[in-house]
Structure 1
C-alpha cells in the first residue's frame, strides 16, 4: 500500500526535507554553516565594524586585537570586515557558476540522450573534448575571451562545468527513454519537449542535484584560484580568493592574514561537500531502509 498521511496525500515536501536534514548530525551542521555564511553576506553592512575598502596607513599589518578582530592587511583595511563582505562575492560566484552549468549542460544532455544517433555522437565528442582540458586552464582561457571580472570569471567556470552535467544527464536519459511510461506518453501523442520536461527530466534530476551541490564547493575553490591570479574579483572589492592573493604577498611578515579567508573557504567547501554526500545517500534507493 502507498504510504499516505491522514488526509490521503503523500508526505509533504517539508516533511521530506526535515527527515533528510536530521537523518544524521553531519547534515544539520553543514546546513548551519551555510546559513551563517549566507546570513553574514546578507547582513554585512550591519555586521562589519568598518568599511571594507577604507584604508588606514597608521594601522598596517596590525595583529588581531579588540579594535581589529582579525587584524589589518597591508593597506590598513580591517580583515574581519573584508571577510564578511567577501562572503557575498564568494557565495554569488558559486551559485552563478553552477547555475550557468545547469542552464547549459542539462538541456544538452537531455537532447543528446533522447535523440541519440549522429546528434548524440557529435555532442558526446564535443563533451569529451571539453573534459580533456584541465578545468582551471580552460576557465582561464574563457575568462581571457570574456574579460576580467568576477562575473565573467564565474561564467567561464560554469561553461567548464557544463560538460560534466551534460554527460550525467545524457547517461540518465539513455536509460529513461526506454521506460514504458515514456513509450506510453509518446503513443498518446505527447511532444518531445513535453516528454523531456514532464517525464524524463524529473526522473533524471536526482543525481544532477547531487552533482550540482558538489560543484558548488569546486566553484568556490575556482573563484579563489581565479581571484588569486587576478582574474576574478578586482580591487578594492573583496572576495576570499582576492584576500588570499593579497595576504600571500606578506606571508613572511604577517602569516595570520591567510588564516581567516583560508579557513572560510575550507569550511564552506566542506559544508557543500557534506551536504552533497548526504543528499546522495538520501536519494540512493539502495541505501534506503
Structure 2
C-alpha cells in the first residue's frame, strides 16, 4: 500500500510546481493545446490545405473564413492548423539533432580534458564564431532544400551550444568523489559517463532545450521565409508569413495570424524554460 501511495509522488510534485508557477502552467497549457490542435487538424480544419478559391483571394476574415484567405484563395485558418504540425515537427527535430550531437561531445570533452578537450573546444569556438542563420543556410545548401534537411542543419548549428554547456558541467562533476570512486573500482569511461556524469549534467540541458525549441521555431520561420524550408504547397507558419509579406500592401492582416502564432509559441517555450531554470536551480530553494 505504501508503494502504491508513493507512485504518484512525481505527478504531485509536477502539479504543485504548476500551481506555484502560473506562467509555467499557462505556457505548458498553451503548448499542449497547440499539439492537440496540430494532431486534430485533419478533423477540425474547415477546408483542405490545397483548396483554392480564385474568386475570393485575399479576403478579409469572415464567418466563412475565420482568418481570411491568401493570395490563392486558400483558407488561412485551415493552413494555420495544418502548419502547426510542420512547425512543431521542425522545432523538435532540430533540437533532437542538437542533443544527439552536442551532449556526447560535451561529455567527452569535459570528462577527458587535456588535448581532447582543447581540440573539441577549439572546434566548438570556430562553429560559434559564425552567425547561426548564415551557417544554417550554408548547411542547408549542402544537404538540399527541404524542411527536414533545413532543420537538420539548424540542429547541427545548435549542437555547439549544448556541447559547451555540457562540457562546463562535466568539468565540475568529474572532480567529485563518487566519480573517483567509480574509476578506482574499475568502471569504464562509458559507464562513468552514463551512470554518474550525465545524470548530474542533465538539469541545465533540460532548460537549454526549452530555449532552443523557441530558437528552432524562429529558425524554421526564417528558412521558410527565404524559401529554404518547407516547400509549397505544404504549409508552415514561416512560409505563410513569407507569402503574406509579399502581399503586405494589399492585405496586411494576412501577416497577423502566422506572426502572432510564431511569437506566442516562442514566448511559451522561453517562459517555460525560464520557469524550469528557476525550479531546478538549487540556489533558489527556500
- Shared fold (TM-score greater than 0.5)? yes
Query: Shorter-chain TM-score category?
Result: over 0.9
Report how far residue 58 of structure 1 moved: 1.1
Give a deviation string over 1:147-180, Cα, whole Å, max 9, x none: 0000000000000000000000000000000000
Report how far residue 12 of structure 1 moved: 2.9
Whole-Å separation in 2 of the counterparts to 1:213 and 1:152: 21
Whole-Å separation in 1 of the counterparts to 2:33 and 2:255: 21
Tell me the residue number matched to 1:237: 234
Matched, 1:80 2:77: yes
Give a deviation string over 1:37-62, Cα, whole Å, max 9, x none: 11111000011100011111111111
Tell me the residue number matched to 2:165: 168
Tell me the residue number matched to 1:119: 116
Q: In the TM superposition, what are the counterparts of 1:36-185 in structure 2 within 5 Å? A: 36-185=33-182
Report how far residue 22 of structure 1 moved: 2.1
Residue 214 of structure 1, aligned match among 199, 211, 214: 211
Residue 200 of structure 2, aligned match among 200, 203, 212: 203
Give a deviation string over 1:206-236, Cα, whole Å, max 9, x none: 0011001000000000000000000001000
Whole-Å separation in 1 of the counterparts to 2:191 and 2:229: 39
Report how far residue 15 of structure 1 moved: 2.4
Runs (4+) of structure 1 exceeding 4 A deviation are 6-11
User: Would the alpha carbon gap of residues 208 and 120 (structure 1) be closer, same or farther in structure 2, given more than 3 Å must change?
Assistant: same
- What SS does the aligned partner of 1:178 have? coil
Whole-Å separation in 2 of the counterparts to 1:165 and 1:9: 34
Whole-Å separation in 2 of the counterparts to 1:158 and 1:16: 32
Matched, 1:271 2:268: yes
Whole-Å separation in 1 of the counterparts to 2:44 and 2:53: 20
- What SS does the aligned partner of 2:201 have? helix
- What SS does the aligned partner of 1:22 have? helix
Whole-Å separation in 1 of the counterparts to 2:123 and 2:7: 42
Matched, 1:187 2:181: no
User: Would the alpha carbon gap of residues 57 and 11 (structure 1) be closer, same or farther in structure 2, given more than 3 Å must change?
Assistant: closer
Matched, 1:25 2:22: yes
- What SS does the aligned partner of 2:20 have? coil
TM (normalized to structure 2)? 0.97
Residue 249 of structure 1, aligned match among 246, 251, 259: 246
Whole-Å separation in 1 of the counterparts to 2:210 and 2:246: 33
Tell me the residue number matched to 1:3: none
Whole-Å separation in 2 of the counterparts to 1:10 and 1:23: 22
Report the number of matched residues.
285
